[in-house]
């Protein structure tokens, strides 16, 4: 069953989402060659607790960490390690926070130093596909409208759309109904309802869509060893339209990037 949220609940969820957004902004400033994902994980936990929240992933399904950090061919669910990040790496950082009983869950793939042009393109297209998907999250549409839009957009670039992992409803539980696949058919699946909140999160591979899990029981990697990207936003359906609860504004501030990409999904532009 899809659990609709009241306006009040959506505002509470916005707070949780923004704590994650700020955490990703902090990570953006810290991530560089020589830093380990374990160091980032410790900083993230401290940051989240300083903001009156608790890490959303830690302890959930036995997850040992605050962040899931997926480097290069790692798709998602990478566990932080003491291996230093290297120049040219891409690192997908997925983060959750729980405050006032509601979850935020949001992710960004970072470029570390100079990244290969074809990899930068993968990141750009994956992020664009996130907004292509969000645009379809509106009254009258269904789960398959979001998925098929993301699939069509990314496959047009020759990329592989991960099938086994999907976006999801979000609320008092990290994973609520409905599942939000990044593939599908127009008009397929559950109908969207006012007040629902979802995490839309394309996981897009440069090569094959096929993945496997490493022996650590967590880390998902591409079968062909090619890079993978992951971007995720928390979105509420308000007045029949998608409204962003999370923001990349803190990441962009840290990286010195100017962007108005989120403005169409807000009543007023987000100001830090
Ligand atoms: Mg996530
Ligand atoms: Mg998620």
Phi, psi dihedrals of residue 100, rounded to the nearest 5°: 50, 40
**162: nearest Cα among 249, 75, 258:** 75
DSSP string, 157-172: TTPEEPSS--EEE-SS
Give residue 67's pLDDT: 98
Ligand approaching nearest to the C-alpha of 109: 1
Q: Compute the distance between CA of residue 31 and CA of residue 170 in angstroms, rounded to an integer.
A: 28
Rounded to the nearest whole angstrom, what is the distance from the C-alpha of residue 202 to the centroid of ligand 2?
10
Which stretches of 58-202 are assigned E, i.e. beta strand?
67-71, 74-76, 90-99, 102-111, 160-161, 167-169, 176-180, 197-200
Give rounded-to-5 percent helix, strand, coil for the chain.
30, 25, 45
Start-to-end C-alpha separation, the chain: 35
Rounded to the nearest whole angstrom, what is the distance from the C-alpha of residue 168 to the centroid of ligand 2?
6
Ligand approaching nearest to the C-alpha of 69: 1
Tokens of 147: 């998925």
Ligand approaching nearest to the C-alpha of 94: 1
Q: Compute the distance between CA of residue 165 and CA of residue 181 in angstroms, rounded to an integer.
A: 7
Number of H helices, E strands in the chain: 5, 15
Rounded to the nearest whole angstrom, what is the distance from the C-alpha of residue 47 to the centroid of ligand 2?
20
pLDDT along the chain (272 residues), means of 10: 97 98 98 98 98 97 97 98 98 98 98 98 98 98 98 98 98 98 98 98 98 96 98 98 98 97 95 92
For residue 257, the 8-state DSSP code is -
Rounded to the nearest whole angstrom, what is the distance from the C-alpha of residue 187 to the centroid of ligand 2?
23
Q: Compute the distance between CA of residue 132 and CA of residue 151 in angstroms, rounded to an integer.
A: 10
Does the CA dihedral 219-220-222-228 come out positive or negative? negative
Rounded to the nearest whole angstrom, what is the distance from the C-alpha of residue 42 to the centroid of ligand 1?
18
Give residue 107's pLDDT: 98
The domains of the chain, with CATH numbers, are 7-265 (3.90.230.10)
Rounded to the nearest whole angstrom, what is the distance from the C-alpha of residue 151 to the centroid of ligand 1?
19
Residues 20/95, Cβ–Cβ less than 8 Å: yes
Give residue 1's pLDDT: 94
Give residue 45's pLDDT: 98
Indicate the helix (H) or strand (E) that contains 235: strand 233-238
Give residue 137's pLDDT: 98
Angle between helices 143-155 and 117-135 (to 10 degrees): 160
Q: Does 41 count as an annotated binding residue? A: no
């Amino acid at each position: 069953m899809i659990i609709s949220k009241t306006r009040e609940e959506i505002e509470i969820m916005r707070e949780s989402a923004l704590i994650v957004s700020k955490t990703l902004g902090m990570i953006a400033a810290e991530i560089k060659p020589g830093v380990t994902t374990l160091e980032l994980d410790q900083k993230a936990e401290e940051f989240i607790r300083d903001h009156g929240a608790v890490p959303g992933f830690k302890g959930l399904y036995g997850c040992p960490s605050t962040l899931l950090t997926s480097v290069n061919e790692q798709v998602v669910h990478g566990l932080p390690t003491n291996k230093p990040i290297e120049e040219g790496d891409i690192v997908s950082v997925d983060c959750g926070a729980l405050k006032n009983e509601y979850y935020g869950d949001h992710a960004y793939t970072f470029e570390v130093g100079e990244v290969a042009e074809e990899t930068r393109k993968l990141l750009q297209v994956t992020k664009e596909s996130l907004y292509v998907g969000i645009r379809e999250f509106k009254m009258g549409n269904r789960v398959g409208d979001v998925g098929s839009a993301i699939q069509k957009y990314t496959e047009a670039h020759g990329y592989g759309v991960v099938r086994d992992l999907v976006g999801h409803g979000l609320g008092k539980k990290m994973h609520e109904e409905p599942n939000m696949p990044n593939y599908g058919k127009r008009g397929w699946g559950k109908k969207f309802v006012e007040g629902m909140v979802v995490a839309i999160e394309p996981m897009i591979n440069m090569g094959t869509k096929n993945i496997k899990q490493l022996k650590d029981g967590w880390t998902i990697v591409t079968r062909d060893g090619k890079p993978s990207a992951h971007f995720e936003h928390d979105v509420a359906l308000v007045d029949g339209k998608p409204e962003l609860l999370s923001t990349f504004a803190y990441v962009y501030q840290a990286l010195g990037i100017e962007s108005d990409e989120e403005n169409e999904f807000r009543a007023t532009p987000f100001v830090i």
